[in-house]
Structure 1
Amino acid sequence: MKKLMRLVGEYKTAAFLTPLFVIFEVVLEIYIPFLMSKIIDVGIKNSDMAYVSKIGGLMILMSLLALFFGAMSGRFAAVASMGFGKNVRKTLFYKLQEFSFSNIDKYSTPSLITRLTTDITNLQNAFMMITRMLVRSPVMLVGATFMAVRINSRLAMIFFIAIPILAVALIFISTRAFPRFKEMLKRYDFMNSSVQEDLTSIRVVKTYVREDYENKKFADSARSLKNAQVGAEKLIIMNAPFMQFIMYSCMISISWFGGNMIISKTMEAGQLMSFISYVTQILMSLMMISFAFVGLVMSRASISRIVEVLGEKIDITDDENDENLTVKEGSVEFKNVSFKYGKDSENYNIENISLKINPGETVGIIGGTGSAKTTLVSLIPRLYDVNGGEVLVGGEDVRKYKIKNLRSAVAMVLQKNTLFSGSISDNIKWGDLNASYSEVEAVCKDAAADDFVKSFPDGYDTDLGQGGVNVSGGQKQRLCIARALLKKPKILILDDSTSAVDTATDAKIREAFKKQKDTTVIIIAQRITSVCEADKIIVLDDGKIAEQGSHEELIAQDGIYKELYELQNRK
């Protein structure tokens, strides 16, 4: 919580006023039983109705003030806790935006979603408990104990015996419950992962008639979560009955010994009534402390998961880089580059690659699955950092640029074509938010997307739905290409981005790329026809350059490229 307290931010005033009003409320509540004893032992005993009315009126006024302070503390607690939760959620989300691909690889998407939702809700609840319950209960415990001892120190020994017993029980429950709640949250992550995977792949599930299998898988994960919840709650549910047992035992003991003291004239009836009220306050405050600690135990696992993400060291930073350094032209050079995904991994995904691409060139990259084609081009916009060697863009090491400046000059159309909720126009304008309608239309024509877009009743204002569910795979690819073209990048990277379009459309798109005279175009493809007209073709094999040259040169080499060419053109 110390690491997170700075995120209270603009809600510090509300966070400060919450415990302040709680203290005012508690002080008034503590004083009310004392006045009640005075009414009984002085006013009623002496038949002094004026005194009874005076003290009774004071009690009513103090009750109303306590109600006001209680309501205000509740309001400020809600404002502070919800505001605190908003700030934590925003900070966590912004942190995720700073993650490099290697940082993101450490966490599953469902786990991050759980941290942004369930875990932050638990944190909000913990914050509210700290500012209210863990202020109210100790103040009431100390104040009520002082008043009870002042009334009768001998009788107060009863709850002095009970307090250590409660403390031991609370410590036992807290220490045993934390690892169980941590395991429960892991089960949440697993179930969310299962749900997300099933919903995003619902078409595949239905195509293969695997609904029964997915239902069973979900039922198993839900059962596993339930068992983890039951395991955690088994300890927590012991808290309330044990507290109540101790509380009622104390009340019975005090009633017995207090009654004997009244009979022996060593204690007044009003004193016993106020003493019982104070004991009730003491025991209730102890119960609230125990519930608060139980809540904090439940929240502790969530807090540790949030802090884990906030404390994640960003692999790729640019804090000391020159803001004025921009990409002047689209040349790309790999100098003896090596890369591996895991720092502790023994095997390199890319090993000792040296390659130079001139500005404005069109370069094709082909290779088998797992040959590191995508990995290689991911190093250009610095989505990953090299483990050895250098990647130069515009003649400068990519690690010298501000990340924003570097990536603003590079457009990537990835293997997985991602569209967002909103209109077609909104999605394409990710490339340039200030683009005009005519510019959007022009890039769609270049990407062979204009015809199908205009076939929709709403044209470019057509709502795509979540993930672009209203368009086909090939249409998604063309819209993503249009989005990249609108960016007018120095370097355009197409990662197998025409795999879902027919050869005629692919040819039209490649013809449009020829217009990008000042743009370096890098095309990753499986089809020879997609790269055969490139200025240079790179053949990757197991993370190394196996061959490079023009189409004619590679055919003459009688190697991997020629073999692929013959396979794809075999009749």
Structure 2
Amino acid sequence: MRTYWDILGRYKWSIVVCPVLVLVFVVCETLQPMLMARIVDEGVMHRDIAVVTRIGIWMLGISVAGLLANITNVFVSSNASVGFATELRSRLFRKIQEFSFAEMDKFNSASLITRLTGDVTRLQQVVLLGLRILLRSPMMLVMAFFYVVRIDSGLALIVAGAIPVLGISVYLILRKGFPYFLKMQQKVDAVNAVVRENLINMRVVKSFVRERYESRKFSASNRDLCDVSVKASNIIVTIFPVMQLVLNLSVIVVLWVGGERVAAGRLQVGELVSLVNYLMQILMSLMMLSMIIMNIARASASSDRVLEVLGTEPSLKDSPGASAVVRRGAVEFRNVSFRYGGGETDVLHGISFSVAPGMTVAVAGATGSGKSTLLQLVPRLYDTTGGEVLIDGTDVRDYPLAQLHAQVGMVLQNNVLFSGTIADNLRWGREDASPAEMEAAARAAQAHDFVMSFPDGYDTVLGRGGVNLSGGQKQRLCIARALLRRPKILLLDDSTSAVDTETELKIRRGLREYLGEGTTVFVSTQRVKTMEEADRVLVLDDGKVESYGTPARLKEDSAVYREIFNSQQLTF
């Protein structure tokens, strides 16, 4: 909760002014029945038009004052609530940017989107209602009850008896309904996940004619959300019939007892009218208060989800005193083991090997052997479970993350491009890259020619994820983006799988010419030609090092390498 107060602290003026404005509005509202009683008893009963006019003008002026106070309160509270949500959303987004892959695995993207949007919006509504109605309800309750006691203390006991009945009823109903609020947010996550997955993979859905299947999957998820929402709504709407029952019974009792007192001359007609109005104000304030409590109960589930993200400490952060700098690019794995969060078994077991600066290492192995996982440990996208990964003899945990990532370029297996121009995407590699530098990197990645085939060249606008490019074109742009950094270590995770063998050969030559001999390169691949041109080949088998050495030696010593080599030597 301290996070919320830190943000609301920026709106101290609003928090101070709103109660004052609410108090002015409540005083104006609660004065009206009293003035109405005077009009009836002093003006209407005595047929005195002057009294009716004079008090009527006072009522009109008080109404205008209350209206102005309410309008001002709406403006001030809206500004504070929107500002609160904006800052909270920004803090959430900044926190997500700090997350490592481990935290992103824990919070799926659909859930994070819901927390950034729906959950924050619900908290915004609570702040708005808190500054407008949460203060108004108890103030009006106290003021109205004060006037009831002032008019007739005996009738005040009837009103006082209705208040605890309502309070207990609301508490019991909300207590039963609260578990459904959390379930509702979880079901919203599930719906968002289905929608997001479907929209991202729409081409696959269309290709396999799976529209009906996806529709059924969405309908099932949507129906689950509907069922939980209906159950929650059925419980919550029970509040209103209960309140209406208590309200009507209270009015009947007040009119019955009050009518007898009017007949006995102990109470005036105008006072009875004002008592009924005050009773309505009291019970309406209780209804508004119950609505606030209901919204707070629903928002508490959202709050737990928001605070869960804000309270999660990134598993990867700079170690105290981390100041090492990547200078040569030598890489060493010392008895490295790794398992993903929540996993029961290690994905990598006892990995040990070393790579001299400037060498090219091909990482080979069957699907699921741990190639991608191994590469992700070099720039410390994950921390090892056991053992050490060293660069230039220093544990990667002793490097500042920003410095480490600046010197380790990586092209992921999943090629990701962003909406914007081709130049915008290339500048992800280096923001201040000049057009000439972008062209040089694109030429090395064999991307320049196809870029210039577009009418707008490097100013060509890409759709979301580069949908207007082929798989091979996206791969080459991703490689060019990584090259712009001129990293000491370059990791290519099966990043040329979508290009033909001849283009891949040109890319390898372009990399060497562009980077020179000082960059250490890791290439995850299944192609023998790539392995044969590497200085060393690391063969993984079920998360273990099956063999490591030159291609010529592995032909003699590695059964797995020979199998890969022979499988690609087919003759016709």
TM-score bin (small chain): over 0.9
Do the aligned partners of 2:319 and 2:397 also contact (CA within 8 Å) in 1?
Answer: no
Letter of the 1:501 counterpart: V
Q: In 1, distance between residues paired with 2:171 and 2:530?
A: 67
Q: In 2, distance between residues paired with 1:409 and 1:41?
A: 87
Alignment match, 2:61? 61
Do the aligned partners of 1:30 and 1:143 also contact (CA within 8 Å) in 2?
Answer: yes
Q: In 2, distance between residues paired with 1:545 and 1:272?
A: 91
Q: Deviations over 1:205-253 (max 9, x none)?
A: 1111111111111111111211111111110111122212211221222
Q: Residues 99-114 of structure 1: matches in 2 within 5 Å?
A: 99-114=99-114
Alignment match, 2:487? 489
Between 1:222-231 and 1:26-35, the stretch displaced more is 26-35
Letter of the 1:341 counterpart: Y
Do structure 1's residue 247 and structure 2's residue 247 form an aligned pair?
Answer: yes
Do the aligned partners of 2:326 and 2:392 also contact (CA within 8 Å) in 1?
Answer: yes
Identity %: 45
Letter of the 2:421 counterpart: S
Do structure 1's residue 411 and structure 2's residue 416 form an aligned pair?
Answer: no
C-alpha deviation, 1:2, in angstroms: 5.0
Q: Residues 312-461 of structure 1: matches in 2 within 5 Å?
A: 312-318=312-318, 320-322=320-322, 324-342=323-341, 345-461=343-459
C-alpha deviation, 1:48, in angstroms: 5.3
Do structure 1's residue 513 and structure 2's residue 511 form an aligned pair?
Answer: yes
Partner secondary structure for residue 390 of structure 1: strand
Q: In 2, distance between residues paired with 1:400 and 1:209?
A: 51
Partner secondary structure for residue 232 of structure 1: helix
C-alpha deviation, 1:436, in angstroms: 0.7
Q: In 2, distance between residues paired with 1:50 and 1:237?
A: 47
C-alpha deviation, 1:258, in angstroms: 1.3
Between 1:66-75 and 1:155-164, the stretch displaced more is 155-164
Change (3 A) 1:64 1:438: same
Q: In 2, distance between residues paired with 1:20 and 1:5?
A: 20
- Stretches of 4+ moved more than 6 A in 1? none
C-alpha deviation, 1:37, in angstroms: 2.2
Change (3 A) 1:550 1:9: farther
Do the aligned partners of 1:337 and 1:354 also contact (CA within 8 Å) in 2?
Answer: yes
Letter of the 2:178 counterpart: F
Alignment match, 2:40? 40
C-alpha deviation, 1:394, in angstroms: 2.9
C-alpha deviation, 1:189, in angstroms: 1.2
C-alpha deviation, 1:288, in angstroms: 0.2
Alignment match, 2:471? 473
Structure 1: any 5+ residue segments left out of the alignment?
Answer: none
Partner secondary structure for residue 439 of structure 1: helix
Q: Residues 75-474 of structure 1: matches in 2 within 5 Å?
A: 75-318=75-318, 320-322=320-322, 324-342=323-341, 345-474=343-472
Q: In 2, distance between residues paired with 1:321 and 1:71?
A: 55
Change (3 A) 1:37 1:2: farther
Letter of the 1:350 counterpart: L
Structure 2: any 5+ residue segments left out of the alignment?
Answer: none
CA RMSD of aligned residues (A): 1.6
C-alpha deviation, 1:64, in angstroms: 1.0
C-alpha deviation, 1:457, in angstroms: 1.3
Do the aligned partners of 2:546 and 2:558 also contact (CA within 8 Å) in 1?
Answer: no
C-alpha deviation, 1:376, in angstroms: 1.0
Letter of the 1:337 counterpart: V
C-alpha deviation, 1:346, in angstroms: 4.2
Letter of the 2:467 counterpart: V
Q: In 2, distance between residues paired with 1:173 and 1:326?
A: 61
Partner secondary structure for residue 314 of structure 2: coil
TM-score if structure 2 supplies the norm length? 0.96
Letter of the 1:339 counterpart: F
Q: Deviations over 1:426-468 (max 9, x none)?
A: 0011001111111111111110111111111111111111111
Q: Residues 560-571 of structure 1: matches in 2 within 5 Å?
A: 560-571=560-571
C-alpha deviation, 1:21, in angstroms: 1.4
Between 1:248-257 and 1:62-71, the stretch displaced more is 248-257
Do the aligned partners of 2:362 and 2:525 also contact (CA within 8 Å) in 1?
Answer: yes
Q: In 2, distance between residues paired with 1:6 and 1:170?
A: 31
Q: In 2, distance between residues paired with 1:328 and 1:26?
A: 70
Letter of the 1:112 counterpart: L
Q: In 2, distance between residues paired with 1:325 and 1:448?
A: 34
Partner secondary structure for residue 539 of structure 1: strand
Partner secondary structure for residue 38 of structure 2: helix
Q: Deviations over 1:468-523 (max 9, x none)?
A: 10001111000000000011111110000000000011000011121222211111
Q: In 2, distance between residues paired with 1:530 and 1:247?
A: 82
Partner secondary structure for residue 146 of structure 1: helix
C-alpha deviation, 1:387, in angstroms: 1.7
Q: In 1, distance between residues paired with 2:320 and 2:270?
A: 73
C-alpha deviation, 1:267, in angstroms: 0.5
Q: In 2, distance between residues paired with 1:16 and 1:490?
A: 56
Q: In 2, distance between residues paired with 1:447 and 1:81?
A: 50
Q: In 2, distance between residues paired with 1:471 and 1:424?
A: 11
Partner secondary structure for residue 16 of structure 1: helix
Letter of the 2:217 counterpart: K
Do the aligned partners of 2:547 and 2:558 also contact (CA within 8 Å) in 1?
Answer: no
Partner secondary structure for residue 96 of structure 2: helix
Size of the alignment, in residue pairs?
569
C-alpha deviation, 1:342, in angstroms: 2.7
Q: In 2, distance between residues paired with 1:527 and 1:135?
A: 70
Letter of the 1:161 counterpart: G
Letter of the 1:404 counterpart: A
C-alpha deviation, 1:113, in angstroms: 0.8
Alignment match, 1:73? 73
Alignment match, 1:22? 22
Change (3 A) 1:462 1:243: same
Partner secondary structure for residue 118 of structure 1: helix
Letter of the 1:201 counterpart: N
C-alpha deviation, 1:108, in angstroms: 1.5
Letter of the 2:473 counterpart: Q
Q: In 1, distance between residues paired with 2:40 and 2:439?
A: 88
Q: In 2, distance between residues paired with 1:485 and 1:346?
A: 37
C-alpha deviation, 1:309, in angstroms: 1.1
Letter of the 1:30 counterpart: T
Q: In 2, distance between residues paired with 1:375 and 1:57?
A: 79
Alignment match, 1:11? 11
Q: In 2, distance between residues paired with 1:369 and 1:30?
A: 75
Q: In 1, distance between residues paired with 2:42 and 2:285?
A: 29
Q: In 2, distance between residues paired with 1:554 and 1:464?
A: 43
C-alpha deviation, 1:352, in angstroms: 1.6
